[in-house]
Structure 1
Amino acid sequence: MRIETDRTTCEGLGMCEAMAPDFFEVGADGTVVVLEEHPGEEHRQDLTAAVDASPVLALRLKG
């Protein structure tokens, strides 16, 4: 599985960071930073919730 981001769409609202702080962080520039691009399958449920929480659809899970 791989986390993909669209940093041009991201508004830095931090919903993903709130849902999965081990994987996302709002950077100094106000957009999301992925802390672990290839997480293990055991994290899929938490990451799906974080991706779904993005109000601007700036995140995707592949694989």
Structure 2
Amino acid sequence: MRVEFDEPRCVAAGQCALVAPDLFDQREDDGVAVVLEAEPSREQHDEAREAAAVCPAAAIRLVEE
């Protein structure tokens, strides 16, 4: 799995960082999300899926390989 993030779409809601803190964080200055792990381990796949599902801007896309 690979995480693709469309930064311009991000509305800084922070939902991704709340549900998947090992995969996402937020910038201090504007709250826009930051991808910490673009290729999550198999154990993190459920977290990544949940983060993508709760993103209100649909800025997170998961590519299943």
- Identity over aligned pairs, percent: 38
Within a 5 Å distance, the mapping from 1:1-63 to structure 2 comes to: 1-28=1-28, 29-63=30-64
TM-score when scaled to structure 1? 0.91
User: Runs of 5+ in structure 2 lacking a partner?
Assistant: none
User: Runs of 5+ in structure 1 lacking a partner?
Assistant: none
After superposing on structure 2, the runs of 4+ consecutive aligned residues of structure 1 that deviate more than 3 Å are none
Deviation at 1:31, TM superposition (A): 1.1
TM-score when scaled to structure 2? 0.88
CA RMSD of aligned residues (A): 1.0
